[in-house]
Amino acid sequence: MISDINLLYPIIIPIGTALLVLGAGSLFERVAGGKLQRIREALATLGFAATAVAVYQLYWDLNVLKLVSDYSFLVWGVYIAPTFYFEYMPGGFALTMFINLLSGGAGPLSLVTAPPTGSVFAVDFLSMLMAAAFTGLGLLVCIYSISYMAHDTGKTKYYAALLVLVGSLNGIVFAGDLFTLFVFFEMMSITAFVLVGFRKEKWEPVEAGFKYLVMVAVGSTLILYASSFIYGYTGTLNFAYVGTLMNALDQLQLFTGRPLFYLIVAFLIAGFGVESAIVPFHFWLPDAHPAAPSGMSAMLSGVVIASGVYALIRSLTVMFPIQSTPFPYLWFMFSSTPYSYPYGFPSFPYPFDWNYALVVLSIITMVVANIMALLQKDIKRLLAYSSILNIGYILIGLSTGTILGFTASWFHVINHAMMKGLLFLCAGAYLHATGSRMLDDLSGIGRKMPVTSIALAIGSLGLIGLPPFNGFWSKLLLILAPVQLAPFTLNGWVWVTLALVAVLCSGFSAVYYLRLIQIVWFGRESAKVRELEKSRAPVWMLVAIVLLAVGCVAFGLFPGVLYAMSNRAAEALFYLPAYFGGIL
């Protein structure tokens, strides 16, 4: 593991740009009659672009480190963990820098910044995959909003909140301890609340924002309780130290606090499950999507709920790792790396398997979301329940605890961000043109807005899982993951059942996706549609829509790039010594 302060740039750049946007927006509202306010949009877009460049550079630095690690291991037998880290004091970055300056970066004084006393950022391939999704979708939503938010007031606060949202999302996936993760999780929740209730002059956003705030506050309280129990039991919140101590207790059979561990796991699943919109913690999402601006709806379904899944799985795997297969010598069937079952940590299964809780939640989430989606007449509520359904799919792979399962889940997280982001941006284009979200009012609009409606069809067919679109590959792997695992466990019927339920739910979901396409393209034109002239969406909205649609087709025809990135992310999550190595 290599210390590198550059990993902070994907967090610092968007938050710093948000401050510039606030200053520029306030200034240019009073200059030249507000005609210079486009500079605000330009600054926000440049901030996202600079963040994307920082993420790209950090990803390739990590690739170079991985190559050096592989060479070092093959030639000298020395393993270098392919992870960047940066340590800091909970008191603040300025205090950390000051202490390191006084001590020359070494010596007893600088040790106060080191874990377990201090906190840490740790970045591996999983962190980079998620940061790329957050930043990429954020950039497209920012471009889309230039036209979509043109007639709204308070746009300065909107762009600033969008930038802070992406910065806090990157902070969540870069956090190396529960304290840092919780701080950024709260930042993300607050900015998401601001964006959900952005149009505060209407009652619907106020109600949806309040519901979101209350439910996320309850979830955050549960996470805080879990963190307090972990700290009381281990004396630290650092992932590496907690994971190592838990593993030592397991091997020494000192699980005197076993009921407490069950409680911690339950609190973490429920707390992060609220943000992930896992059933039965999902009630805020169907209300938040219709109320929020469509760009924020794309962020909510595309990446915000994915951040909850990341936080849940990262916390559970590093502190309570599981080993689903009882035959470690069959590592070649479950991984492409010989490090999957390392000698030493973590080599022993725990006396309880939290992944079976994810199996149950996955099935419940898929079934409930499918039924509710079929009953919707509001396009954004339908897409909201579709997002909940796909969280159920993602939990399938994560519950298996295998490399294939992890790869499939992260692969689907990225594909879903593209497909669902595309559908919400299309829905926003329809809302912008007609002023309505009701499916009856959108009947026949495909003939008036053909480019947007072709993109909608691409996203819908991708979510069904039809080739040649990107959703086909990740859904196929999600179904194969439990099937692959079934013969090697004593509870093989559980995994076969999970795969069958996934297939049935995928087929069931095709009903409302195809119905959506039929209404848009082949339905009789509604009164609102007849009033429209044949046109296209505004240019900046269309840029974002077309780019996402092209991505859905391109990564369906050539899935290798995203698959390789997802596989590396899965291996980073699976092989914990690589994540822990430089901290301990």
3-state secondary structure of 156: helix
**How many other CB atoms are found less than 10 A from the CB of residue 467?**
13
**How many other CB atoms are found less than 10 A from the CB of residue 287?**
20
465 Ramachandran zone, left/alpha/beta (phi>0; psi -120 to 50) = left
Contacts of 71 (CB under 8 A, 6+ apart): none
C-alpha distance from residue 108 to each of 113, 140, 177, 238 (Å): 10, 47, 22, 20
DSSP 102-150: HTTT-SGGGGGGSTTTSEEEEE-HHHHHHHHHHHHHHHHHHHHHHHHTT
Two tokens at 416?
């879903």
**pLDDT of res. 492:** 84
Q: Distance of alpha carbon 435 from its chain centroid, rounded?
A: 30
DSSP single-letter state for residue 489: S
**pLDDT of res. 433:** 87
Q: Distance of alpha carbon 380 from its chain centroid, rounded?
A: 20
Distance CA 276, CA 46 (A): 29
Residues in the chain: 584
Q: Which residue has the tokens 């690739």?
A: 63
Cβ pair 549, 420 in contact under 8 A: no
**pLDDT of res. 393:** 95
**N-term to C-term CA, the chain:** 10
Contacts of 415 (CB under 8 A, 6+ apart): 462, 470, 471, 473, 474, 552, 555, 562
**pLDDT of res. 322:** 60
3-state secondary structure of 444: coil
Q: What is the pLDDT along the chain (584 residues), one digit of tens a residue?
A: 555 677 889 999 999 999 998 888 777 666 655 566 678 888 999 999 999 999 999 998 888 888 888 888 788 877 777 777 776 655 554 555 555 555 555 444 444 455 555 678 888 899 999 999 999 999 999 999 998 888 777 788 899 999 999 999 999 999 988 989 999 999 999 999 999 988 887 888 888 889 999 999 999 999 999 999 988 888 888 888 888 777 676 666 555 556 778 888 899 999 999 999 998 998 899 989 888 888 898 998 888 999 999 999 999 888 876 654 444 434 444 444 433 333 222 333 444 578 889 999 999 999 999 999 999 989 999 999 999 999 999 999 998 888 899 999 999 999 999 999 999 999 999 998 888 888 988 988 988 889 999 999 999 999 999 988 999 999 999 999 999 888 877 788 889 999 999 999 999 999 999 999 999 998 888 888 888 776 667 889 999 999 999 999 999 999 999 999 999 999 888 877 777 776 66
Two tokens at 474?
């990740």
DSSP 333-352: GT-SSTTSS-SSTT-S--SS
Helices (H), 235-338: 239-251, 258-276, 284-291, 294-299, 305-319
Q: 200-215 burial string, b = 16+ CB within 10 Å, else e?
A: eeeeebeebbebbbeb
Angle at 79 between CA 355 and CA 118, to 5 degrees: 65
Q: Which residue has the tokens 């600033």?
A: 160
Distance CA 138, CA 427 (A): 17
**How many other CB atoms are found less than 10 A from the CB of residue 273?**
24
Cβ pair 365, 388 in contact under 8 A: yes
Provide φ and ψ at 419, rounded to 5°. -70, -45
3-state secondary structure of 558: coil
Cβ pair 191, 231 in contact under 8 A: no
| CA neighbours closer than 13 Å in the CB half-sphere of residue 146 | 22
**How many other CB atoms are found less than 10 A from the CB of residue 23?**
14
Distance CA 241, CA 345 (A): 12
Distance CA 104, CA 469 (A): 54
Contacts of 177 (CB under 8 A, 6+ apart): 115, 119, 120, 236, 237, 238, 239
